[in-house]
Structure formats: C-alpha cells, structure tokens
Amino acid sequence: MSGSTGGRTGRELEPRAASEPGLERFSAPETAHTVGLSEERAAQIVRQTGNARAIAFLAVLVIVLFIPIYWFYDLGVPAVANTSRLAKEAQAQQVTAIAAGEQLFLSNCARCHGAQGQGGIGPPLNDQGKLYNAVTPAGAPGAGHLNPTYIRNVLTVGGRYVCGDPNSLMPIWSDVNGGPLNYVQINDLIAFITASSNQTWVYQPVASPGQTAGPSAIHHGWRDPSYTPPPGATPVPACWRNPSGVIGGAAPAASAAGASGAGAAATAPVIANPGTAQNPRVIKLDETAQLQITDASGQPASTIYVKKGETVRFEITNTAGFTHNFYVGPVSDLQASNTANLKGVPDFSSGTETLDYTFNQDGQFGFGCLVPGHYTTMHGTIQIEP
C-alpha cells in the first residue's frame, strides 16, 4: 500500500470516544457513507422507471378495452339481434337437436303420425291450432296444446295421459318408464315437433349398412310462428280419438272397381266394390323429389285401406327426376329391405309403373321405397279390413 493515505481505503473502523469508561467504540469514517452516481447512470434509472410506468399503463389500457369488447362479443350488442356468440352457439345446438329429433321421429313416430305429422293411426301433430303458443318467443314452454311439457308427459307415460285409456296404442317412449329413448333423445324429439317453420336444417337420409344414403334436402319446422287462431275458433280437444279414417293419408274412399281411390278421408272408407284379379281397384301414388309418397291430392300417403282378399293395382309415378322404387309386403320385411319376401316395382327414374297385389294374408303390411336412404320418409301402412 502506498500513497498519501498510507495504504488506507477510508472504510477501516476507527476508535471513537467511549461513552462509558472502559468501553472502546468504533465507527466508519465519513467517506464510507458516500455513494457516487454518474450522470449517465442516473439518466438510465429515470428512463427505466418511465418505461416501466408506460408498460404498466398500456397493460391496464388493454385490460380496460378487452373487457367491454369481449362482453359485446360474448353477449352481443344491446338491441342488435344475432350478435351474441352465446346465442349463435345455442342456435347451432338447437339445429343439431332438431335434426336428430327428425331422425328419431321418422324412425319411431311417423308410422302412426305420418312422416309430415299429418296423422293417420295417431293424431296429427302438424296442426297449427295445436302448435299455436306451444313455445314462447323466448323458447320456454307455452300454454298451447302441444307444448313441450305436454309432449314430454305423453312420451313418458304413453297414450293414457291423453285420454286415460290404458289400452291406447301410443306406447311409452321414455326410458324413465322402460321406453327406448333416453333424456337427450326425448329433448331432441320435442325440439323437432315444436320447431318453427322459420327454422331450417339439412336432412340427410340414413342409409342401410353397406349402402349409399340418398340425397340431402333442406327441411323446416311445422309450427308457423305468425299463426293466430281465427275468430270463434274452438280450443283443441284434450282427448283425440281415431275416427277410423286417415287424416291426410291415402285412404281409398268408396269407388267403382277400377276407379282411383287414394284421396284423404276423415271417416272410415267404405269400399263398396273391392278390386278383383280381373278388375283391380286402382290407387295412384306419386314418388317425389322431396322423398315423399303422396296420394292423388298431393297429400303425403300414410295409410291405405284395403279389403282382405281384394286385388289393388298401384300406379306409381316417379316425379323426382332420380331413382325410386316401390314395394308392398310385411312391415318387418320392408324395414329389413328383404325384397325376396316382397312384391314391388324395381328401381325406375321416370314415368309410371304398375303393381298388382292381392291382400289375402294376415299381419302388418306396408308399402315404401327401398332405395337406400329413402325408406325413412317414404313408407306407410296398409290397413287390411275384414
């Protein structure tokens, strides 16, 4: 160590005067408490502090702006419809539920209520008087006849809920009481039955295993939200009874042998002159591009009445512009597409084909188009009268 300080650094402890006799105290010299900052260092500290404050301000600003922007995105702009992400997501889920409900309806309910809900063995479901006020504008159950609560009760306990008839043909559908449909499927079915006519979805026919499905189509709901009952309209009856006829179906009315008889009927058809092998009774049907089988009046055909032992000549016209076919026979064979046990018209894409069929058997009979994916909406029952 050398220099004027004698090798001292200025940080050595130095004795100071004792405050009490016999005790020696030490303290650092004044130079030990001096910390020097250059001008550059001081300016750098100031800049860093300012930058930190600016970053904090920008972070707060981003959060303040993000919250209302996300709020508008999630909940929508007030008083502007269809701007909410949640509403759009709910709508997408509703469309999915309705489409699933239609498949369930066609597979399980259409045989009695008709593919378009027009009725047949069971009551019509597409009646605007029944669907009026079934659902409120907010989507809650309304006070109308076919409101979701009523439909759910019918599906849960069966037809006895409608008329108190324990022998009602309407079975139990909910698995709560042993039916085949679970809670989600029941909800989907209700969503389809009460769907607004403003609601559309893509219907994709379901193909049998190993076969190709038919073309898709745009479908819409039955309920007209703008419908208002006319003045003096009577309430919908709480209990529906089958009038022994077919509503909107293909029930042949009384006709001379060889006359067309596929019109709709509200009472039991009287077949005064059943067809014979030499002079069959003619029933005209159309197979359409909308994947429907309609009668001569253009109404979907759900049930055809025939006399046991009579011969009927089906005249089937293809108006679709693509392939259809037509088969008659036991319902079990129709559902299984077992054409070996059926009688019918093979695939044809235009024109009119005929099929003569003598109904001398017992059992459940029906008719339908067995082109893959078509049977779901293109089938009906045949009621064989004694």
Q: What is the pLDDT of residue 76?
A: 58
* Domain count along the chain: 2
In terms of domains, do 90 and 188 share one?
yes
Q: Are residue 214 and residue 93 in the same domain, yes or no?
A: yes
**Domain boundary at 220, 237, 270, which?**
220
Sequence-ordered list of residues with C-beta below 8 angstroms from that of 386, at least 6 positions apart, any chain: 307, 308
CATH code where residue 328 lies: 2.60.40.420
Residue ranges of the alpha helices (H) in the chain?
39-75, 85-108, 110-113, 128-131, 148-157, 160-163, 183-193, 331-335
Q: Residue 233: inside a domain, yes or no?
A: no
Dist CA 74 CA 184 (whole Å)? 26
Range(s) of the domain holding residue 318? 281-385
Same domain, 204 and 329: no
Listed residue (363, 339, 331, 350) closest to 110, CA to CA: 331
| Domain membership flag for residue 252 | no
Give the angle subtended at the CA of 377 by the CAs of 371 and 383, to the nearest 5°. Answer: 100
The verdict on 287 and 188 lying in the same domain is no
Whether 289 and 204 share a structural domain: no
Residue 14 lies in a domain: no
Same-domain check for residues 314 and 192 = no
Residue 146 domain flag: yes
Q: Is the pLDDT of residue 64 over 70?
A: yes
Q: Distances from the Cα of 221 to the Cαs of 82, 102, 131, 192, 287, in angstroms?
A: 20, 10, 11, 7, 22
Identify whether residues 96 and 212 lie together within a single domain.
Answer: yes
Is 66 a domain residue? no
> Can you tell me the distance from the alpha carbon of 220 to that of 71, in angstroms, rounded to the nearest whole number?
33
Tell me: do 99 and 201 sit in the same domain: yes
pLDDT, tens digit, for every residue of 150-184?
999 999 998 888 887 777 778 899 999 888 999 99
- Using the 3D structure, point to which of 220, 235, 261 is the last residue of a domain: 220
3-state secondary structure of 50: helix
Is-above-0.75 flag for pTM? no
The residue among 220, 253, 268 that closes a domain is 220
Phi, psi of 4, deg, nearest 5? -70, -20
What pLDDT does residue 190 have?
Answer: 95
> Are both 97 and 199 inside the same structural domain?
yes
266-314 pLDDT, tens per residue? 344 566 678 888 999 899 999 998 888 988 777 788 888 888 899 999 9
Tell me what pLDDT residue 328 has. Answer: 95
* 207 lies in the same domain as 287: no
Q: Which residue has the tokens 């001081």?
A: 42
- The CATH number that applies at residue 115 is 1.10.760
190-242 pLDDT per residue, tens: 999 999 999 999 888 876 666 676 788 899 999 999 999 888 888 888 787 66
Q: What is the average pLDDT value for the chain, to the nearest integer?
A: 79
* Residue 299: inside a domain: yes
Q: Do 195 and 286 lie in a common domain?
A: no
> Is 159 among the domain residues?
yes
The answer to whether residue 20 is domain-embedded is no
